[in-house]
Each structure stands twice: as C-alpha cells, then as structure tokens.
Structure 1
C-alpha cells in the first residue's frame, strides 16, 4: 500500500510538479485555495487557506482518520514580494509572514501530532537562497524564510524523540509564477551569486525532497540544503 504524503500549495508551480512527480510512489494529499487540475487515483485535493487553523486541523485529521499514518509533509505553499523596506506596507508584511511561516507552523504542528503516535515521519520545509544572500528589496520575504529555517532547526530537536526528521531546502530561482514579477536583473544577480549559476528545475527540487524523505536519510535532521550552492 502506498504511503501517505501531504504537499501544500499544489494548484500550480513547484507544489503541482511535486504532486504529479510523487503519484506513482505515494498517495498524495494536496491543498490550495483554488481547485486542482490533477485527476489521479492516488491524489486527493483539499480547497483551503493554509493559514486558517481550523481548516488545517480538519484536513490533517481527515487524512489521518480515513487513510492512516502520514509518512511525509512537504511545506511548499508560499508567497514572494520584492519591495524596498521604506515602501512596504504592513498588509503586505502580514500576508508574506502568514503565507510563508504561519502555514508552515500550522501544518508542521498538526502533522507532527499524527506522526508522533507512529514514531516516524519526514517533514520538509521550503526556504530560499534569498535568505543567506541578503538581497536588497527582499527584506520581508527573506525574513519569513529565515523564520522557517530557525523553526526547522528547533523543531527538528523537539521532534527527534518521536522519530520525526525535519529539514529544509533553500530553493534557487525556479521558473514559476512566483518570480514573474521579479525584474530580470534581480534574478540574474541571484543566480550569479550561486556556485552553480543556473535556474533550478522541478527535478532538482524533487530529487532533493526524495533524498530527505527517504528512509536512508533517517540520521539527517535540522539541516538546510541550498540548491545551487550559496554561503
């Protein structure tokens, strides 16, 4: 029987690609505010706001109750913003922090409760290379991802006794809707500061996720892997 994994933000972009890529190996439970175009016997979609506590609690309980143990959680849902600090309004800050960090916290907390009973589980959070590179115009976005990195390291310690591994992947620029509004010169600046100076593609991300949720990586936790190589 296929193992159960939850992937957030599966209506498009990286989350959609991951959901499609894992369907032959896992039973995938995705979520997004909009409906999904994925139609597959191994895919179940939930329409919800990933920052709404009750919706997240209800989804995780439903998956756990109806389908059994949750093997892995991939916290993919996210939002980006490029704006100078002095011209950033508070509503934008709240939206970025809620979408990127609060959703990660809520899903991690609820899924970890279920995983702790099974004494086994893999959680992968998504950060960004924008965090270590400290690019101008990305103060709020990078701060939200920095919160995820600290959360990853600390929760890895708190959940280790329950057999749960928690790691994060720092995503390099990937050709999705998320970066369409970012000026090309800013994307070029990011890529030029990587050791491997190229865009990441969906397979690069999927390969990193596969490594971190594989049983062979059971001794790896609290780590941040930056695609493309930054320091």
Structure 2
C-alpha cells in the first residue's frame, strides 16, 4: 500500500513496483488509506508523513496499533535527524527521504518483506533440505548443516528459489541488501556453502554454476553420499 498525495510520484512509484512483481494499492490521502486499513492489511505500508485528511504520523500510529507485525516505511521530504527519529518513534520500521532512487525503495521493501517472512515462516522441506526459519537451522537429510549467519541467509534465499537461475547481482541485492558491491563476495560464500552441502565441492550436485548467468539450486538432486 502506497499513501502519497503527489499524483506523479504516487503513479511513478506504483508503476515501478508493479513492474518489479508487486501488487500495489495506491491512496492519495490519509482518510481513504485509513478506511482501507480497517479491512485487509497490506504486506507493507509506504506512506508520506505530510498527508491531507489524516497525517502520515497519525496513520502510522493507527496502523501500528492495529498490527505490531505490519512493516511500515515512511517516505518524506523531512530529512533532519530529529525528523527520522520522530518518524521511527511513531512506529515506522524504515524511513526513506525524498528525493530517492526507485530501486532503493524497492530494495528496502524487499528486505523488509524478507526479514518479516523469514521470522514468521513455518518450517518447510524443499527437495532433500529441511529449513526451520524461526530457529535459523537447516538439515540435509538427517544431517544438520552448521552455517554462519551469512551462509544461512544465502541458503535460505536459495531454498526460496529452487531450480531457478539467480545472478550474483541478485544475490548481492536480496541477501546482502547491497545495490552494488563486489560479486566475488558471493563467489566466496557459494564456495564455502558447497563445502558444507556437497559430497564433492568440485563436482557440485545441489548448487550448480550456470556460466555467464549465475547459480542454480537443485535441492532434489541425487547425492552420492
């Protein structure tokens, strides 16, 4: 849900997020957004602080009172440190100041959703891997895999996208939260992860390299050990 009184900005943000795969509901003022929030809550609420009808601060307080778990991102031109602190104290989880890059907002939304869903997700099995997100633990068959925090986050992301090619840039964005960085960082962590999940890291069966494209995680592969 996007609540923004600037028609052009609201439209541009909405169109960009839809192009990125999000379903978007848009509202031009606090009153209409408040009425909508009395029904089904969104996965993420993005709102301006200075809104007609009901202010963004008041809308944030009401939304937070309705749900402790609803992720709220404030989008505003108020960029002083005290403004940021004030916005967070009203119940916001994140604070993005104008002007901003559309891609940055999208990454922040994705990161917020990932953290929220990871904490709430029920244990699940994909192929030969079992994941317990609440405990941040992973098993391969009957064997628990000892993982560092980043290795767990990488493997968790891969189990969410089985049998799909993911690029190193995508992994940097979605796992590290970086809009740019050294892809070699991913290469090193993939190598370390292979050492823990593959019988022969030099001939991987679960975590394959797709040359020129990235990696493909095949959790149902037959293992020789």
TM range (shorter): 0.3 to 0.5
- Return the index of the structure with the highest Cα Rg: 2
| TM-score relative to the length of structure 1 | 0.39
Structure ranking higher on relative contact order (CA contacts 8 Å, 6+ apart): 1
Superposition TM-score, scaled by structure 2 size: 0.39
